[in-house]
Every structure is written in C-alpha cells, then in structure tokens.
Structure 1
Amino acid sequence: MRSEFLISFYFAFILFSCNSNEQSNSLKPSLPVDSFLIKEKLLESDSLNLPLREELAIEYYNNNNLSKAINHFVKLCQNDKNNKLALITLGNIYYDSQQFSNAIEYYEKALKLDSLNTNLRCDLATSFLNINNAEKALELLKENIKIDYNHLQSHHNISVVYKELGKTKESVEEMEIYNKLSTNN
C-alpha cells in the first residue's frame, strides 16, 4: 500500500513538473537524483511523452550530464522538429564544447523557427566566426542590425569580425557605435 502511494505521489509530481515546464518554456533548477530514474522508467513505457522527455533533458542539462541531455534533446527534435528549446539548447551545448559545425546546424534550424531572434543569430554568427567564416558571420550580424539597430552584442561582434578581416577603420567605427549605444543604455 505504501509503495503504491509513493508511486502515485511521484507520478503526480512528475506530471505537475511537466505542466509547469510547458508553460514557462525555460530551463529549471535541478531535482533529486531519484526523479531521473523515475522519469527514465516512465519514458521506457511511453517514449513519445515529449513533455516528460523535455523535462528530463533539461534536468540532465542543468546537472551537466551533457551526453544524456544531448540524447534526449535529439530524440525531442526527431519527434518535434519545431522544438525551439531543444534546438537552441543543442546549439548551446555544441557551442560551449567548441563543436561549432554542430552548433551551426542546430542554430540554423532554430533561426528558421524564430527569424527575428537577434541573440540566436548572434550566436550563429559567432559559431561561423569560430570556423573561420568571417564573411558569413558579418552577413548575419548585419542582418541583426537591420532587425534591431540597438543590439549591442551585434555591434561589438561586427567590430571583432572587421578586425579579423583586417578592416581596422571599419572595426574602430563599429566599436564607436557600440560605445555610444552602450552609454545610452
């Protein structure tokens, strides 16, 4: 009887957690280790429970278990190609581990879903810069400025790209714009 109660309690807890994550659509603080085991067991019986899989992927990510986070985020993307959170998080994981070509793949997919996301485009541009494609990085950053002229990070990164390209004058001019905008904010 007690074990049935505990199973019911954990199941209700997990359902509540999934619902709250769906609403906030953001990464959350980590939960106790036994919640990982419970969620894994539940996914064994219902592999298409995407809210639960997303919750588990986030938990692994927050606990720095990146291989398991990647595994679950990839499965999410296989079942829901429009899962922006999974695409961006995969891009971030690969970016942070300096696997820039993989980061580009996921950032580009996410950008197709959210074409006005200047922060995402900025991360994509930086990934291109890190694989020595400064021209593509510059193109993406200039798109950002068209969307939001006040996007500080884009101005800063444009200055860096110009410097990489040996265009010192343009780099200095862009840094002046950055400095002017940053003092106004």
Structure 2
Amino acid sequence: MSRIAHRRTKIAAIGAALLITAGAAGSAVASGDGDGGTREAAVLTGSAKLYRSLGDDITFTFDAHLAAKDNDDPTKATGTFRFSHYLNGKGAFAEARVDCLLTGGKVAVVSGVITKSDLKGAKGKRVGITVHDLGRNDRLGYSWAATGSPVETEDLPKCVGSAPFEKVKAGTGDFKVQPWHPKL
C-alpha cells in the first residue's frame, strides 16, 4: 500500500471513530441530564426586556419545568413566571404559577394562573405566553395581546398563548427552551 493510500485509510478510520464517539455522547446527553440523571421533559427559563420605542420597561422572566416522569402530561409542569410593564413610573407586575408547558424546537408555550399582582383584578386570571428562543433575537407573545390586559381575558384554556410577535430589547434575551419529545 502506498503512503498516500495508507494515510487516507488512517484518516478515514480516525474520522469514523470520532463520529461513533460523538454519536454515543450525543445519545447519552439526549437521554439524560449529562450528570447521570434523567433529562427533564421540557424547560423554559430566562429573562428579557421587550423593545418599545417609547422606552417602556417591560420584562418577562421564566422558570418553568416539566419533569421526565410527567412527559405525557404537560399540565403537570411546575414553576413560575413573572412579567411587568412600566412607563414613566406607572404600571404593574404579575407573578403566575405554571399550569402547562409545551415546547417544540425552540418555541415554548407556557400558561399559568396569576398568584400575585398589583394590577387590580389580575389575581386568579390565567395567562399564556409564547417564547421563540432565537439566541440574541428572542421573540415573545402573550395571550392578552388582543384584549390589552390580562384582567380582560376570560376563560383562557391551559397552554394557550399568541404568536411571538414582540422583539426583545437588544442584549437582554436569554431564553432557553428545551424541546419536548412526547411519546406519540
């Protein structure tokens, strides 16, 4: 065998070994958390401010999780999310207890019931938010986009949000979405 043919064979063998190793490592990470535990079924975390030309201070923060054992029921998701909207010192905040989390690819829909708020009439209302994790260009939408306020939303079902039409303010988006893999 010539030196060139021998070298090509050696490079091909090393390349194949690397591909096999990478595939095995990828499978191990996909089925676990990387530390020998079980991977959560779905996750939405992070915080961002929305862009508004008038300078509104609008912030959304998420800590929503669907445990691996609850993979077949996204309504068993847990966690909280918080949002606030202020302009010229006026506005309100709300915190909600997660009651559903659905993710697909880099998109998440989370819903929850407001447990704390300084917006009169908001406590006890269900709201839904959709996040598109696009790295530095994340997007977000919310169930009250058409009504103007979470207070005006009636009988919203679990896991309902709007299209992620809002842009996050440059440098603030750090949403992380872990895709859900339901057994179909």
Which band: TM-score by shorter chain? under 0.3
Structure with larger Rg: 2
Structure number with the bigger relative contact order (C-alpha 8 A, sep ≥ 6) is 2
Structure whose residues are more often helix by fraction: 1
